[in-house]
């Protein structure tokens, strides 16, 4: 595990964007695993800046997003499909046909999960997977459990996650109760995993996840075993180490 210690959110975003940009420059047809949430937004803004300056070309890049809420269509204000368009895809020259997100409207859970895992396998895996960190240690929507889930699956969101994500919805009742998410195997098989974490509120879970035992009760802890894992965090998020 490599830790990049950033001063603040802006510097964290700059470092993460540099790692992603380097991946795109070195392998223009790379597969990027992408994440939602407030943590990666700044990194996406940096990537858009680099694209506008002519330093990045996304025309050959393929993307697979970590997760999507079950029951939200791609046009829904809070769908992760829309988040990705608004924060990145609409602002760079990526081919929308090369962008992939689980289909939250597919009622056939087995078919949707199998489709997504096959898609990742057919791409030959993920070159760089970007992650945020849930307040309970979740990655994607892999929630604390008795075992590490492997492939793409449908997950019941925990109360902690519903509470954390209700700020984006009109009310708590509007937060979807289920999501499709890539599994831990999909994430662990990525050649390089980059996590962005910011703020004092995440300091406790950063310490528990990366300086405590590896346990499915803290899904992110498994990244301690990844051969190429880079944690990009600001000083506040690292303040309990
Ligand atoms: C959501 C997403 C995660 C994300 C997490 C943290 O639950 N499914 O992928 O990492 O939120 O979000 P934030 O970065 O806003 O703290």
* Cβ atoms 126, 33 nearer than 8 A: yes
First-to-last C-alpha distance (Å) of the chain: 14
CA distance 49 to 52: 5
Residue 208 counted as domain residue = yes
Q: Which two tokens stand for residue 95?
A: 């081919």
Which pLDDT score, from 0 to 100, does residue 94 have? 98
H runs (alpha helix) in the chain: 9-26, 41-52, 80-87, 109-122, 159-165, 184-188, 203-211
pLDDT reported for residue 79:
97
96: left (phi over 0), alpha (psi -120 to 50) or beta: alpha
pLDDT of residue 135: 93
Q: Which pLDDT score is estimated for 77?
A: 94
Structural domains in the chain (count): 1
Q: Check which CATH number belongs to the domain holding 65 and give it.
A: 3.40.50.1360
Residue 212 domain-assigned (yes or no): yes
What's the pLDDT at 115? 98
Q: How far does residue 139's CA lie from ligand 1's centre (Å)?
A: 8
State the pLDDT at residue 169: 94
CA atoms lying within 13 Å on the CB side of residue 80: 29
Look up the domain containing 38 and give its range.
2-231
Is 93 inside any structural domain? yes
What pLDDT score does 205 carry? 98
Query: Which residue among 37, 178, 237 is best mutated to probe the pocket of ligand 1, counting the most ligand atoms within 8 A of its Cβ?
Result: 37
Measured from the CB, is residue 35 less than 6 Å from ligand 1?
A: yes
Q: Which of 46, 143, 186, 234 is catalytic?
A: 143
pLDDT tens-place values along the chain, 241 residues long: 999 999 999 999 999 999 999 999 999 999 999 999 999 999 999 999 999 999 999 999 999 999 999 999 999 999 999 999 999 999 999 999 999 999 999 999 999 999 999 999 999 999 999 999 999 999 999 999 999 989 999 999 999 999 999 999 999 999 999 999 999 999 999 999 999 999 999 999 999 999 999 999 999 999 999 999 999 999 999 999 9
Q: Is residue 19 part of a domain?
A: yes
Question: pLDDT digits over 139-180, tens only?
Answer: 999 999 999 989 999 999 999 999 999 999 999 999 999 999
Residue 111 lies in a domain: yes
Q: Is residue 33 one of the residues assigned to a domain?
A: yes
pLDDT for 123 equals: 97
For ligand 1, whether the C-beta of 165 sits within 6 Å is yes
- Per the CB < 8 A criterion, the answer to whether 102 and 68 are in contact is yes
Rounded to the nearest angstrom, the distance between the alpha carbon of 192 and the centre of ligand 1 is: 19
Is 67 noted as a catalytic residue in this protein?
Answer: yes
Query: Is 69 inside any structural domain?
Result: yes
Q: Is 143 a catalytic residue?
A: yes
Answer whether residue 154 is part of any domain.
yes
Predicted local confidence at residue 211, as pLDDT: 98
């Amino acid at each position: 595990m490599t830790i990049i210690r950033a001063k603040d959110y802006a510097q964290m975003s700059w470092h993460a964007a540099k790692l992603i940009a380097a991946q795109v420059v070195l392998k223009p047809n790379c597969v990027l695993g992408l994440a939602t949430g407030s943590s990666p937004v700044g990194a996406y803004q940096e990537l858009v800046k680099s694209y506008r300056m002519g330093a990045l070309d996304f025309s050959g890049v393929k993307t697979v997003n970590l997760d999507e809420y079950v029951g939200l269509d791609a046009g829904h204000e809070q769908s992760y499909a829309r988040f990705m368009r608004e924060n990145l895809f609409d602002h760079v020259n990526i081919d929308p046909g090369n962008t992939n997100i689980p289909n939250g409207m597919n009622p056939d859970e087995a078919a949707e999960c199998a489709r997504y895992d096959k898609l990742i396998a057919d791409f030959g895996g993920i070159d760089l997977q970007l992650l945020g960190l849930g307040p309970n240690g979740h990655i994607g929507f892999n929630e604390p459990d008795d075992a590490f889930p492997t492939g793409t699956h449908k997950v019941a969101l925990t109360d902690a996650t519903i509470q954390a994500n209700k700020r984006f919805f009109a009310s708590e009742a509007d937060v979807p109760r289920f999501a499709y998410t890539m599994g831990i195997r999909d994430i662990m098989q990525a050649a390089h995993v980059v996590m962005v974490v910011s703020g004092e509120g995440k300091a406790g879970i950063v310490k528990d996840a990366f300086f405590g035992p590896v346990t499915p009760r803290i899904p992110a802890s498994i990244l301690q075993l990844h051969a190429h894992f880079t944690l990009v965090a600001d000083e506040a998020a690292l303040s309990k180490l």
